[in-house]
Structure 1
Amino acid sequence: MITEIEDVNNSKQPLWLQDYIDSPKKQQQLYKKTLIIVIIAQMFGGAGLTAGITVGALLVQDMLGSESVAGIQVAVSTIGSAGTALFIGWLSQRFGRRAGIAFGFFFGGIGAMGVVIATLINSFFLFFVSLFLYGAGTATNLQARYAGTDLATDKQRGTAVSMAMVSTTLGALVSPNLVDIMGEFADSIGVPTLAGPFILAAAAFILAGLVILIFLRPEPLIVSEAIANAKEKKGPLRTVQSNLEKPIINRKGFVIGITIMILTQFVMIAIMTMTPVHMKHHDFGLGEIGLVMSLHIGTMYFPSIFTGPLVDKFGRTIIAVASGVILVISGVVGAFTPPNSIMFLSITVILLGIGWNFGLISGTALLVDATPLSIRAKTQGSVDVWYALSGTVSGALSGWVVAYSSYAVLSISGSILSLLLIIIVIWFSRSQIK
């Protein structure tokens, strides 16, 4: 941590930090190293995230015996995600990315272990507390994408976010297809079948945290802020703890970015949460549900390899509008899909994943563009609170909508909100807000 920094022209920074300030080559090397570490951690994090997504709603339905409460799993875990996102952002701003991200992954792992224990002793209280802690893993998976942007240039930010996210694909694709295997393993050790994937989630989150804690050195956020301040020659360098002058946020970019992220999250969570429940209601097995969900989760993350460069080349708002168009089509397909057609259900969730991916990366790039380094991590944590809360409301409402109407009504509602997203993005992008 930086504890003693004098004027830029009479520098007294630690030697290791001064080396990075003076050497663009070392800066580029650290940028690449940071991306590699984040990519490895995200592979494990993706497995932890998707294990719970695949069977969480089914586990709640099984424990509480009602389809209308199936969305509570996502609601509770995303409340946990919201609560921890702010703390992870604060930790990252004060102590660096390594502390914040590692903490979040470890808490997610503890939550997953708690879910398994709760099912063993049939404790609803422990179950929901554990889901809350499990949400920390979700928040961290999202916050980790920011670490790759700290040393990225304006023209690299979309690509940096995409590289951090695409690495989640491996875990995201593998994890849902291990549902049957983990269920059998759970049976063999006396744990309820549906709790099996949470055993995988616990191990995956803890491994992700260890990768970050051990290897994410030096801190990319500290280095990037020191470099930025040295270039600007504004006098005393700010550290990650200090804030000597009021930072200026680009309001227009901030508002558009957060709007894109929140609305795409709301639509995606609603339809994703109820798809496994809808499939189970129409007699699909766990293997088929796992396959469809792996396609969805894979397309949430794998397109990032293309999305980031597209965002950097064609602009943030164009890709955001494309996100809204894809989500509209996804909702329409979902509404008119025959309930026994695994092919059209797969198309629905594939489009849902791609639309969410476009929205998250374009929105994230706008958010990073709009916030100065001195408050970036803290601001990102605050934004992710609202991002998670949108998922909380969406997850809770989705079960109620399906229980009292239908999956088709839920899908059409998603299309309407996605159309609203397109209108809002176009209006704000043409406004005079600064």
Structure 2
Amino acid sequence: MRAPAVQRRTLLVLSASQVIGGVGQAIGIAVGSLLAAQIAGTAAVAGLASTSSVLGAALLAVPVARIMSSSGRRAGLIVGYVAALLGAAVVVAAAFADSLALMLVGMFLFGGGTTAGFQARFAATDLAEPHRRGQALSLVVWATTIGAVLGPNLSQPSGALGEALGLARLSGPFLISAVLFALAALFVAVLLRPDPLLLSRELSAETWEPTAQRASVRRSLSAIVSTPDGRLGLLAVVVSHSVMVAVMVLSPIHLGHGGATLTVIGVVISMHIAGMFALSPLVGWLADRVGRRRTVLVGAVVLAVALAIAGTAPADRSGQVAVGLFLLGLGWSFGLIAGSTLVTESVPAAIRPQAQGASDLTMGLCAALAGALAGPVLDLAGYAGLNLVAGVIVVPLFLVALRAVVSPGRGTAG
């Protein structure tokens, strides 16, 4: 089978698995903070659920990337989905036992679904032509839209399922997540053949050395930051993801203070997720046509506008919050797609999987810290103060991207 045909099949399989896994991930994220607050009896710890998930996604990225480097993309994706399946089961047990500590362990493993989803975007670039990498990556990101938008809207019926089974209402969504992650793992195991990373190595003229496949996180990060485009790409994914996580995960708490039902919260989160994924093919096209640097700059501006809109919304103005979160998701999409493409192109192919894993590790750790601090900030300064702090974090990205666009120097990233 020729490489273009394999690439088309790879994109189709990765996209379908993203739909399945996207539902599983989104349905749990939509209620995770609410379940943590219910178990602990205080909203101050609500952000810990998402923080644990983000931290899990970050720390699992490195072993998953190493598995991919040695055994291919398929093996790594399966490991990520199986970890998420186990995590969902642990969260259900934690809700039954009324244990916050056990829930956080479960959410850590639940982050494996995010790890698999993020690594799938890189798998889409293995066989892509250089001038189409942004579009290939964005198509897999876009596929998450269906599952991710549908997921939060299943909160109500899946909650009813949990109650029917004698479990806590908010644990019901995690039952559905476990089943869907199992299906995603099975789907990838059967259909992602031939493996895109292993095939790209067979077709490459480069010599692949075992030592390159064992590149450390430090070596991988050093390779990324050794170039201006690599530094911009890493900063873009870190800032975009951290800001998105900090604001998004506590928006349900803000809306809850205004009397919003689970259905309303689900719709608002669906709007946010639509912003993250629905326009990603356009973002990928822009990254390829007008340049990665300019796309990052636009993303920084969109993030700032989003935070201004969401931050000025009273708790009972769910419509305004929805608009702000939609734009927050869109700004994230600009930063993630263009930034990930810059990271991919900034390192030699021999250590690309490890560099991609190191990038996701850094992105996840920073987002986990942002999520952990978001709860106390919300308590101290309110939702408006949380958005203001997030806006301050966006400023360095805007300035670095602006400098890269105005004074591009060497390179063709645009």
With structure 1 as the length reference, what TM-score do the two structures score?
Answer: 0.89
Separation in structure 2 between the aligned mates of residue 274 and residue 158 of structure 1, nearest angstrom: 31
Q: Is 2:305 the counterpart of 1:329?
A: yes
Q: Are the aligned partners of 1:145 and 1:161 in contact in 2 as well (CA < 8 Å)?
A: yes
Specify the alignment match of 1:89 in structure 2.
Answer: 65
Alignment partner of 1:207 out of 183, 188, 196: 183
1:146-193 deviation per Cα after TM superposition (whole angstroms, max 9, x unaligned): 111000111111101111011100101111111110011110001101
Specify the alignment match of 1:395 in structure 2.
Answer: 371
Specify the alignment match of 2:148 in structure 1.
Answer: 172
Give the match's secondary structure for 2:249: helix
Alignment partner of 1:144 out of 97, 117, 120: 120
Separation in structure 1 between the aligned mates of residue 54 and residue 114 of structure 2, nearest angstrom: 8
Q: Is 2:2 the counterpart of 1:34?
A: no
Specify the alignment match of 1:420 in structure 2.
Answer: 396
Q: Report the Cα offset of residue 121 of structure 1.
A: 2.1
Q: Is 2:352 the counterpart of 1:382?
A: no
Q: Give the direction of change, closer, same or farther, for the CA distance of 1:154–1:257 in structure 2 (3 Å limit).
A: same
Alignment partner of 1:238 out of 205, 208, 211: 208
Q: Is 2:344 the counterpart of 1:368?
A: yes
Q: Are the aligned partners of 1:329 and 1:415 in contact in 2 as well (CA < 8 Å)?
A: no
Specify the alignment match of 1:218 in structure 2.
Answer: 194
1:195-248 deviation per Cα after TM superposition (whole angstroms, max 9, x unaligned): 11111211121211111111111111111122221xxxx6xx426776699997
Give the match's secondary structure for 2:250: helix
Q: Report the Cα offset of residue 108 of structure 1.
A: 0.6
Separation in structure 2 between the aligned mates of residue 431 and residue 308 of structure 1, nearest angstrom: 20
Specify the alignment match of 2:280 in structure 1.
Answer: 304
Q: Report the Cα offset of residue 404 of structure 1.
A: 1.1
Q: Are the aligned partners of 1:46 and 1:172 in contact in 2 as well (CA < 8 Å)?
A: yes
Pairwise CA RMSD of aligned residues?
2.0
Separation in structure 2 between the aligned mates of residue 321 and residue 47 of structure 1, nearest angstrom: 30
Structure 1: gaps (5+ residues): 1-19, 21-25
Separation in structure 1 between the aligned mates of residue 235 and residue 78 of structure 2, nearest angstrom: 28
Give the match's secondary structure for 1:338: coil
Q: Is the deviation greater in 296-305 or in 84-93? A: 296-305
Separation in structure 2 between the aligned mates of residue 348 and residue 241 of structure 1, nearest angstrom: 46
Q: Are the aligned partners of 2:293 and 2:404 in contact in 1 as well (CA < 8 Å)?
A: no
Q: Is 2:46 the counterpart of 1:70?
A: yes
Aligned length: 404
Give the percent of matched residue pairs that are identical in Structure 1 and Structure 2: 32
Q: Are the aligned partners of 1:173 and 1:295 in contact in 2 as well (CA < 8 Å)?
A: yes
Q: Is 2:77 the counterpart of 1:107?
A: no
Q: Is 2:154 the counterpart of 1:184?
A: no
Q: Are the aligned partners of 2:48 and 2:371 in contact in 1 as well (CA < 8 Å)?
A: yes
1:89-125 deviation per Cα after TM superposition (whole angstroms, max 9, x unaligned): 0000011000001110111111011101111122333
Separation in structure 1 between the aligned mates of residue 397 and residue 25 of structure 2, nearest angstrom: 26
Q: Report the Cα offset of residue 252 of structure 1.
A: 1.7
1:350-406 deviation per Cα after TM superposition (whole angstroms, max 9, x unaligned): 010100011100001101111222111111111111111111011111111011111
Q: Give the direction of change, closer, same or farther, for the CA distance of 1:195–1:411 in structure 2 (3 Å limit).
A: same
2:177 maps to amino acid = A
Separation in structure 1 between the aligned mates of residue 247 and residue 125 of structure 2, nearest angstrom: 30
Separation in structure 1 between the aligned mates of residue 310 and residue 66 of structure 2, nearest angstrom: 39
Structure 2: gaps (5+ residues): none
Q: Is 2:196 the counterpart of 1:196?
A: no
Specify the alignment match of 2:253 in structure 1.
Answer: 277
Q: Report the Cα offset of residue 251 of structure 1.
A: 1.8
Q: Are the aligned partners of 1:51 and 1:198 in contact in 2 as well (CA < 8 Å)?
A: yes
Q: Report the Cα offset of residue 126 of structure 1.
A: 2.3
Separation in structure 1 between the aligned mates of residue 408 and residue 73 of structure 2, nearest angstrom: 35
Q: Are the aligned partners of 2:212 and 2:351 in contact in 1 as well (CA < 8 Å)?
A: no
Q: Are the aligned partners of 1:329 and 1:351 in contact in 2 as well (CA < 8 Å)?
A: yes
Q: Are the aligned partners of 2:66 and 2:214 in contact in 1 as well (CA < 8 Å)?
A: no
Q: Report the Cα offset of residue 338 of structure 1.
A: 2.7
Q: Is the deviation greater in 181-190 or in 414-423? A: 414-423
Separation in structure 2 between the aligned mates of residue 244 and residue 134 of structure 1, nearest angstrom: 26
Separation in structure 2 between the aligned mates of residue 294 and residue 112 of structure 1, nearest angstrom: 20
Q: Are the aligned partners of 2:20 and 2:181 in contact in 1 as well (CA < 8 Å)?
A: yes
Separation in structure 2 between the aligned mates of residue 390 and residue 85 of structure 1, nearest angstrom: 14
With structure 2 as the length reference, what TM-score do the two structures score?
Answer: 0.93
Separation in structure 2 between the aligned mates of residue 239 and residue 217 of structure 1, nearest angstrom: 23
Q: Give the direction of change, closer, same or farther, for the CA distance of 1:59–1:433 in structure 2 (3 Å limit).
A: farther
Q: Give the direction of change, closer, same or farther, for the CA distance of 1:240–1:316 in structure 2 (3 Å limit).
A: farther
1:16-58 deviation per Cα after TM superposition (whole angstroms, max 9, x unaligned): xxxx6xxxxx110001010011001000111111112111111
1:302 maps to amino acid = A
1:262-291 deviation per Cα after TM superposition (whole angstroms, max 9, x unaligned): 001111111101100001111111110011
Alignment partner of 2:295 out of 313, 319, 322: 319
